[in-house]
A = this chain, B = another copy of it.
Amino acid sequence: MTSTADSANPESTTTVLRRTAEYRPRRSLSTWLIGRPLPTADAPHQTIGKAVGLAVFASDALSSTAYASQEILGVLIAAGTVALGIAFPISLAIVGLLVIVTLSYEQTIHAYPGGGGAYIVARDNLGELPAQIAGAALLTDYILTVAVSISSGVAQLSSAYPSLFPYRVHLAVGLVFVIMIGNLRGVKESGAAFAIPSYFFVVMMILTVVVGLVRFLLGSLGTVVDPPAIEIGHAFQAVTTFLVLHAFANGTTALTGVEAISNGIPAFKEPRSRNAGITLIWMAAILACLFLGITFLAGQIRAIPSEQETIVSQLARTVFAGRGPLYLATIAGTTIILVMAANTSFAGFPRLSALQAGDGFLPRQLTYRGSRLVYSRGIVVLALIASALIVLFRARVTALIPLYAIGVFLSFTLAQAGMARRWWKIGHLAEGKEVKERGSTLRYGRGWQRKMLINGFGAVCTLLVMLVFAVTKFRDGAWIVVFLTPALVFVFFRIHYHYREVAARLSLEHYGPPPRTARQRVIMPISGVHRGTVAALRYARSLSDDVTAVHVSLDPAEAEKVQQKWQMWGEGIRLVILDSPFRLWIEPLLGFIEELLEQRQPNETLTIVVPQFVPRRWWHNLLHTQAALLLRLALLFRPSVVVTDVPYQLEDAEPGGRGARSG
């Protein structure tokens, strides 16, 4: 350490020295994996334009075209192949919903130029409880996005290479791990690295849809050659309202990821809100076209929803007449965009959990930034939970989907309701008056009624979809989310309560200056008399003149030896030998300490000095009883007692003594 900046405060007598610690973080396996640590000053401040922004933030939303059509068809197939025909009208309804949600979010983007996720909007406008509900929904949703996207990406791969099918769980978990490492390194969202694969996917999908439509118009499209077998156990059921709603609910997964841009506005070039808004509309347009196109063509080629081969794969090989280079490029693009969609969650989850932790609703450790300036703990937590889900659901997209969209639509609803409430507040402000809230500034503006209506309508629509989803998919797994979300919210509030309580109890407000410690009594438990004991004794005597050594005797012969040696080496210090009839070690000692505490004078502190022997190899600890550790644990909850280990290392001498000579 070199640079020392002396800044003795003139107001008080306290000397405060401030300096920068000069250390190099050590090289280790983790620096090799995730790169050398970055100083805090290196935090990035780049911004991106609309084209790159579309690529960065749209991957999650666009990737859902890879499975949304399939999820609709998967429900309808229960009523036989004829029922697949109603998939297209359902898609039209979903696109209608997409338009509403997009308009709603476009308004949010302009209202919260600092980034307005559902959590912030709900917190500022609806209160703590709705905010935590939104937080729980979003965190769940981020986790599920990773599980669903990666599983779907692996499903694309195994459609092209069926021999990979048995290994899809391994592949999926492996991919999660790779993305985790990448994010721990700090993959910058704002990178052209994202643009190429995203646009590659978009181009390939548009090509597939356009070629497909052209061949359909020319009448040369035909149907899928050798489609997968229909996976249905029971007899075909009728086309009921429930079935249609069920298919609709499944298809709304197409909307997942639409909110991503509203979280990431600060990353855009100025004028930020305008650029972000335009990007959002572009994204929605592409999403709508691809989704409609895929659903329409899938119906025409009579694609069969199946776990063995995805709809995208069936469509691509029909359109491109076989598994040629164009087919493979489409599959590759789809796989990559799905993996990148998972990556979006790896940006969102740690940021949101850090936000919630900062507000005291999650463990505070989540706010620490790791060696690469990212919220590493959040990243690792996300990877672990998502991997667990993948393993639990055997990487089956259809099994994961029922858990998925509830959280998304719950957060949509809360965000839009919050926005509606915000417009109402704005409408009731005096003109020219400004109110600063935590996430944005309120300022009266005209047309608030219209904006409130748009957001309010969005909130109602997404709420309805959420209810449809919860009801139609309840038995398939949606119940998990229905019960999990309140449980999470409960835990968040428990954590919050704990932090508030600790802060109150540790607070120095209205706290008188505490009395000084007048006197120290020192107790030194010894198991034998050796160099370590002698070193600890010397330390104990430097603390106080009132030192008592205590030997708990399990074996009379041993006690005799200790007593003899103590008379030689004990420096005249009092020794108490406690015979322990039940061969317990810690209980008699605790009893003795308790007895001393009862006789204690005010302002007297009892310090237990434990000679602790430190072996040279960690495994040597297995060969010694960890007395100091056990005693520390036993006394942790006892007030007015301080435990001090005096370590005695085998290589070197005792503390304060001979070690100095070699140094």
Binding site for B on A (CB under 8 A): 1, 9, 11-23, 25-26, 37-41, 363-365, 368-371, 495, 498-499, 501-502, 505-508, 511, 514-518, 520, 529-532, 534-535, 538-539, 541-543, 552, 554, 559, 563, 565-570, 572-584, 587-588, 591-592, 595, 597-598, 600-607, 613-615, 620, 622-625, 632, 635-637, 639-661, 663
Contact = CB atoms under 8 A, between A and B. Distances in A.
Contacts of A600: 660, 663
B365 A625 contact: yes
A38 B40 CA distance: 61
Given A520-B543, A604-B660, A641-B647, 12 more contacts: A1-B591, A14-B567, A14-B572, A16-B567, A17-B575, A364-B624, A508-B530, A639-B653, A640-B663, A642-B645, A643-B645, A644-B644
A472 to B, nearest CB: 37
A536 to B, nearest CB: 9
A514 B563 contact: no
Contact of A604 (B587, B636, B656): B656
A21 to B, nearest CB: 3
B655 A649 contact: no
A583 B603 CA distance: 38
Contact of A517 (B38, B542, B663): B542
A655 B605 contact: yes
A577 B16 contact: yes
Nearest to A553: B18
A323 to B, nearest CB: 44
A600 B635 CA distance: 32
B508 A623 contact: no
A582 B25 contact: yes
B567 A11 contact: yes
B18 A498 contact: no
Nearest to A559: B18
A372 to B, nearest CB: 10
A614 B636 contact: yes
A542 B605 contact: yes
A48 to B, nearest CB: 26
A315 to B, nearest CB: 48
B516 A538 contact: yes
Contacts of A506: 530-532, 613, 648
Contacts of A514: 534-535, 538, 654, 657-658
B498 A577 contact: no
Contact of A657 (B499, B603, B651): B603
Contacts of A624: 364
Residue from A17, A570, A577, A623 with most neighbouring chain B CB atoms (10 Å): A623
B21 A588 contact: yes
Nearest to A600: B660
A576 to B, nearest CB: 5
Contacts of A597: 663
A588 B24 CA distance: 10
20 contacts: A1-B578, A16-B563, A16-B575, A16-B577, A18-B559, A19-B579, A21-B579, A23-B588, A37-B584, A40-B583, A41-B581, A363-B622, A363-B623, A508-B569, A516-B538, A602-B660, A603-B660, A607-B644, A641-B647, A642-B655
A459 to B, nearest CB: 34
